[in-house]
């Protein structure tokens, strides 16, 4: 197959459309492999449709008419547990001086930008979904989440947590849950749930790294840095964060909260029924694998490591019940597709998983 | 309650942070007004039929586990934040408030 020109030299787009709709797994695998050799925006959008599975390719994917602009609206819950409220900032509007509203607005924008600029994904659902957020949710509410339609941010209790909009990787993490929901749709339980958390941490961190222009060496690889108050103690002399992708288990070490429980190797996998079977705990294992791969590849983590992970997330063999090994193998196949069998990138991906006890 | 207290063991897990917090209350040790409020909300939860099995998890939402003991009878409830009735939400918020005692006490 011609690698130097667009696949349209050879295969008309309608063929890919038919495969996306009616192809069997093998045909889709071929189509995915073929289109992944072409890095033009137009082709990337067809690839997204193929990887998403059945369903027609959007007409505008072929027309290339997507503006690449986020459509953001921020609402104020006024400290009630409600997901509707007064609009405090909408697309095109100026900063309003409410830190939570402005941080939410900017964070939605930074997240949209990573997905669109780097992965040619048009919003959470790859169909331009408007990005809504509600801030000041609940009374001293210690959480942030994507509820399937919008981002919800609490102000934190002030004792352990400050406002949840303060950390860009938290916003990127939550919106990545939306991306997972519209791709592999990993069940939020046990290993598939820990993978869901892992993917959210990866892209949450990448949103921040891309925004700050950080190389793998410059990135802090922390999740939730700045979110915990000064009351919470970090490990050693480091400020506290919730999780560390570089060194799982070292996010915090505090008298009240205890110690960050994340393992960094399959030998330390934690069996529990709490937290949906430890989804926020065992995610440390794939997090460390991603960090290993990114560090060895060097440069910017969103370029190669992030692209491999995003491709794996859309691999038809990664089902909602996928376990670590299934996903790890999908990253290996993605690296083979993108960089060639036996390429340094493929070896790096395999080594990254091997170091955490997963052999692909 | 014929002099019998109501005991609630409470634990919250999940959320973005994935941290677990909890508390145990015994209404016999609470001021009467507070005790009555817990009684009312616990009864509402018991009658609601909710919480017999763990509901499917949603990303970064809280999960709650409550064990309500009256005399020698205990019943365990597993609840998900996104499926709470208004009364259960009120109960959970009261328990979170109690679990959130200031540091260094």
Q: Are residues A337 and A196 in the same domain?
A: yes
Q: Are residues A58 and A151 in the same domain?
A: no
What angle (nearest 5°) sits at the alpha carbon of residue A354, between those of residues A352 and A358?
115
pLDDT given at position A226: 95
Report if residue A217 sits inside a domain. yes
pLDDT given at position A268: 98
pLDDT given at position B73: 94
Bigger pLDDT: A82 or A34? A82
pLDDT given at position A32: 65
Q: Are residues A222 and A121 in the same domain?
A: no
- pLDDT over threshold 70, residue A229: yes
Q: Are residues A47 and A83 in the same domain?
A: no
- pLDDT over threshold 90, residue A51: no
Catalytic residues of A, which ones? 174, 280
pLDDT given at position B49: 87
pLDDT given at position B53: 84
* Mean pLDDT along residues B79-105: 86
Task: Report the distance separating Cα B57 and Cα B79, nearest Å.
Answer: 10
- pLDDT over threshold 70, residue B51: yes
Q: Are residues A152 and A244 in the same domain?
A: no
Contact B63 A275 (CB under 8 A): yes
Domain that holds residue A95: 72-166
Closest residue of chain B to A175, computed from CA coordinates: B59
* Mean pLDDT along residues B40-44: 96
pLDDT tens for each residue of A87-143? 999 999 999 999 999 999 999 999 999 999 999 999 999 999 999 999 999 999 999
**Chain B residues interacting with chain A (CB cutoff of 8 angstroms):** 11, 13-20, 54, 56-63, 65, 82, 89, 93, 100, 102-103
Task: Report the distance separating Cα A331 and Cα A309, nearest Å.
Answer: 6
Task: Report the distance separating Cα A254 and Cα A242, nearest Å.
Answer: 11
Out of A7-11, A220-224, B83-87, pick the least confident: A7-11
Report if residue A177 sits inside a domain. no
pLDDT tens for each residue of B4-22? 689 999 999 999 999 999 9
pLDDT given at position A36: 57
Domain count across chain A: 3
pLDDT given at position A58: 47
Domain count across chain B: 1
pLDDT given at position B3: 52
**How much is the pTM?**
0.86
Facing residue for B102 by CB, picked from A142, A159, A164: A159
How much of chain A exceeds pLDDT 70, in percent? Answer: 81
Report if residue B60 sits inside a domain. yes
Q: Are residues A261 and A309 in the same domain?
A: yes
- pLDDT over threshold 60, residue A19: yes
Contact B59 A170 (CB under 8 A): no
Do A87 and A68 touch, CB atoms closer than 8 A? Answer: no
We report the CATH number of the domain holding residue A78 as 3.10.170.10
Domain that holds residue B31: 6-99
Report if residue A184 sits inside a domain. no
Facing residue for A188 by CB, picked from B18, B57, B103: B57
Query: How does A267-287 read in b/e, with b if 16+ C-beta sit within 10 Å?
Result: ebbbeeebbbbbbbbbbbbbb
Report if residue A22 sits inside a domain. yes
Distance from CA of A263 to the nearest CA of B (A): 14
We report the CATH number of the domain holding residue B84 as 3.30.350
Task: Report the distance separating Cα A337 and Cα A349, nearest Å.
Answer: 13
pLDDT tens for each residue of A61-79? 444 445 689 999 999 999 9
Facing residue for B59 by CB, picked from A139, A146, A161: A146
Report if residue B1 sits inside a domain. no
**Chain A residues interacting with chain B (CB cutoff of 8 angstroms):** 81, 139, 142-147, 157, 159, 161, 164, 170, 173-174, 177, 180-181, 187-189, 193, 196-197, 200, 224, 231, 242, 255-257, 273-276, 279-281
pLDDT given at position A9: 43
Q: Are residues A101 and A246 in the same domain?
A: no
Contact A280 B59 (CB under 8 A): no
Report if residue A158 sits inside a domain. yes
Size of interface A-B (CB pairs under 8 A): 80
Report if residue A268 sits inside a domain. yes
Report if residue A313 sits inside a domain. yes
Radius of gyration, alpha carbons of chain B: 14
Q: Are residues A229 and A317 in the same domain?
A: yes
We report the CATH number of the domain holding residue A251 as 1.10.390.10
Contact B17 A256 (CB under 8 A): no
Going by C-beta distance under 8 Å and a sequence separation of 6 or more, which residues neighbour residue A211? A110, A113, A114, A168
Work out the pLDDT band at A218, boundaries 50, 70, 90: very high
ipTM for this model: 0.88
Do A357 and A319 touch, CB atoms closer than 8 A? Answer: no
pLDDT tens for each residue of A325-357? 999 999 999 999 999 999 999 999 999 999 999
Task: Report the distance separating Cα A6 and Cα A23, nearest Å.
Answer: 21
Report if residue B104 sits inside a domain. no
């Amino acid at each position: 197959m011609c690698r130097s020109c667009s696949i349209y030299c050879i295969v008309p787009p309608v063929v890919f459309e038919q495969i996306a709709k009616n192809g069997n797994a093998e045909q889709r695998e071929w189509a995915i492999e073929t289109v992944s050799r072409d890095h033009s925006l137009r082709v990337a959008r067809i690839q997204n449709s193929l990887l998403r599975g059945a369903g027609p390719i959007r007409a505008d994917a072929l027309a290339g008419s997507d503006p690449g602009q986020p459509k953001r609206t921020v609402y104020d819950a006024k400290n009630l547990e409600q997901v509707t409220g007064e609009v405090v900032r909408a697309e095109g509007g100026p900063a309003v001086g409410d830190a939570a509203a402005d941080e939410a607005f900017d964070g939605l924008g930074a997240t949209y930008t990573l997905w669109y600029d780097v992965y040619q994904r048009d919003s959470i659902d790859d169909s331009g979904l408007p990005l809504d957020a509600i801030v000041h949710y609940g009374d001293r509410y210690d959480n942030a989440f994507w509820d399937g339609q919008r981002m919800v941010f609490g102000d934190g209790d002030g004792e352990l947590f400050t406002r949840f909009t303060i950390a860009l990787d938290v916003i990127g993490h939550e919106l990545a849950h939306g991306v997972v929901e519209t791709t592999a749709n990993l069940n939020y339980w046990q290993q598939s749930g820990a993978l869901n958390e892992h993917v959210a941490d990866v892209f949450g961190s990448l949103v921040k790294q891309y925004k700050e222009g950080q190389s793998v060496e410059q990135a802090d690889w922390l999740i939730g840095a700045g979110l915990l108050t000064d009351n919470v103690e970090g490990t050693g002399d480091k400020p506290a964060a919730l999780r560390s992708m570089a060194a799982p288990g070292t996010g915090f070490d505090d008298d009240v909260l205890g110690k960050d429980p994340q393992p960094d190797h399959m030998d330390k996998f934690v069996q529990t029924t709490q937290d949906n079977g430890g989804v926020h705990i065992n995610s440390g294992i794939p997090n460390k694998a991603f960090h290993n791969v990114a560090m060895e590849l060097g440069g910017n983590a969103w370029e190669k490591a992030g692209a491999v992970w995003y491709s794996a997330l859309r691999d038809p063999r990664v089902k909602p019940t996928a376990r670590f090994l299934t996903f790890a193998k999908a990253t290996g196949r993605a690296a083979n597709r993108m960089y060639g069998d036996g390429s340094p990138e493929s070896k790096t991906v395999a080594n990254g998983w091997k170091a955490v006890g997963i052999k692909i | 309650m014929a002099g019998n207290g109501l005991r609630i063991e409470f634990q919250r897990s999940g959320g973005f942070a994935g941290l677990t917090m909890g508390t145990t209350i015994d209404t016999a040790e609470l001021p009467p007004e507070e005790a009555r409020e817990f009684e009312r909300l616990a009864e509402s939860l018991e009658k609601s039929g909710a919480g017999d099995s763990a509901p499917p998890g949603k990303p970064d939402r809280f999960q709650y586990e409550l064990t309500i003991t009256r005399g020698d009878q205990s019943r365990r409830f597993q609840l998900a934040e996104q499926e709470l009735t208004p009364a259960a939400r009120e109960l959970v918020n009261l328990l979170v408030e109690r679990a959130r005692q200031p540091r260094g006490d």
